[in-house]
């Protein structure tokens, strides 16, 4: 029996990267999977990968009408929701001196407001025992220049994990946060399609004690743990899946040394 046998699980941003890897793992573990995203093409290819039983909904997490429609669809098809992975996000770097109000708002609308209202609007479908996992980022901790707005939008997500958990404990709903380091997904080349710039990749890897980018499947495994009863006494917590970037800064680059 799978770790999520017969559970109804929503993954926002399930048509790419970490979200798609998680949707595949959840399906393999017995869940009924619902994914969202905005891009019709990648939604269609995710549908063919996940199979016809998966529910694929085109929905912008920053648009509250889209969220209402999404949860109405889930209610109609399943009548309940057991797991949410609030994963949809964008990550553009903007120097403090140049970022515009529209760029700032876009980051917070998707990463922070989108996460907030995804959870709020799902509440009526969640039952005792449900699990919510939010996707943050080590950008909230690492002080990389150019990531102030993105890092702040994700620091807010980490805070929401704690505060939602406090409010939902009485309903026996757990809320936890997964915090990825640099993971090899399309997010790194969304601004300039193509493969990840080797210079950027080398700079990222130089900060990782384990000496490589992470894979989306490695985040999915942590999300599965938090989503499943295996973590039944864990709430308000954060799991770093970052190859040691945040906790072992002095070990960065050690794999390159003789
Ligand atoms: N990769 C990393 O190194 C890394 C590190 C730390 C944290 N993260 C976080 O991990 C999450 C997933 O990112 P990823 O690396 O897997 O990148 P990705 O492949 O670019 O996936 C991002 C996903 O979010 C969806 N999305 C973006 N804006 C959306 C919106 N307004 N409404 C609905 N869906 C939306 C995208 O779908 P559409 O394209 O269809 O909109 C896509 O499915 C993000 O929250 C990101 O901040 C990633």
**pLDDT, tens only, 47-67:** 999 999 999 999 999 999 999
pLDDT reading at 256 higher than 60: no
Helix ranges, 108-250 (H): 114-122, 139-142, 148-168, 198-206, 216-227
- CA–centroid distance, 247 to ligand 1, in Å, is 24
Q: How far apart are CA 108 and CA 47, in angstroms?
A: 28
Does 19 fall in a domain? yes
Is the CB of 62 within 6 Å of ligand 1? yes
The answer to whether 137 and 179 have CB atoms below 8 angstroms apart is: yes
* Domain containing residue 154: CATH number: 3.40.50.720
Give per-residue pLDDT as tens, 174-212. 999 999 999 999 999 876 555 667 788 899 999 999 999
Residue 3 lies in a domain: no
**Full residue range of the structural domain in which residue 213 is found:** 8-242
Asked if the structure places residue 211 within a domain, the reply is yes
Which candidate, 239, 181, 185, places its Cα nearest to that of 210? 181
In this predicted structure, what is the pLDDT of residue 198? 77
The confidence band for 257, taking pLDDT boundaries of 50, 70 and 90, is: low
Q: Which of 71, 150, 164, 188 is catalytic?
A: 150
Write 142-145 long-range contacts (CB < 8 A, 24+).
142/207, 142/245, 142/246, 145/95
pTM score: 0.97
Q: Tell me if 257 is assigned to some domain.
A: no
Name the residue at shortest CA distance from atom 30 of ligand 1: 60
Within 8 A by CB and 6+ apart from 41, the residues are none
Region 72-96: mean pLDDT is 97
In a domain, 250, yes or no: no
- How far lies 69's CA from each of 64, 93, 209, in Å? 9, 31, 43
Q: What is the CA radius of gyration of the chain?
A: 18
Our count of domains for the chain comes to 1
* Residue 13 falls inside a structural domain: yes
In a domain, 122, yes or no: yes
3-state helix, strand, coil in the chain (%, to 5): 50, 15, 35
- Lowest-pLDDT range of 2-6, 157-161, 178-182, 186-190: 186-190
Nearest residue (by CA) to ligand 1, atom 26, is 88
Domain presence at residue 92? yes
């Amino acid at each position: 029996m799978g770790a999520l046998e017969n559970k109804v699980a929503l993954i926002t941003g399930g048509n790419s990267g970490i979200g798609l890897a998680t949707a595949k793992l959840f399906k393999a573990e017995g869940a009924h999977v619902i994914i969202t995203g905005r891009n019709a093409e990648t939604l269609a290819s995710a549908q063919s990968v996940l199979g016809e039983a998966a529910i694929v909904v085109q929905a912008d997490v920053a648009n509250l009408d889209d969220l209402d429609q999404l949860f109405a669809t889930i209610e109609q098809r399943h009548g309940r929701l057991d797991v949410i992975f609030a994963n949809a996000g964008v990550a553009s770097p903007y120097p403090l001196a140049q970022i515009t109000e529209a760029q700032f708002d876009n980051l917070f609308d998707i990463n922070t407001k989108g996460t907030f209202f995804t959870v709020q609007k799902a509440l009526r479908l969640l039952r005792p025992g449900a699990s919510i996992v939010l996707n943050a980022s080590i950008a909230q901790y690492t002080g990389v220049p150019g990531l102030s707005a993105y890092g702040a939008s994700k620091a807010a997500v980490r805070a929401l994990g704690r505060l939602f958990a406090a409010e939902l404990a009485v309903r026996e709903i757990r809320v936890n946060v997964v915090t990825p380091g640099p993971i090899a997904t399309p997010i790194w080349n969304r601004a300039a399609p193509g493969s990840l710039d080797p210079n950027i990749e080398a700079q990222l890897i130089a900060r990782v004690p384990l000496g490589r980018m992470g894979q989306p499947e490695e985040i999915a495994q942590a999300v599965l743990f938090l989503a499943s009863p295996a973590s039944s006494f864990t709430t308000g917590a954060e799991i770093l899946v970052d190859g040691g970037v945040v906790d072992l800064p002095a070990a960065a680059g050690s794999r390159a040394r003789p």
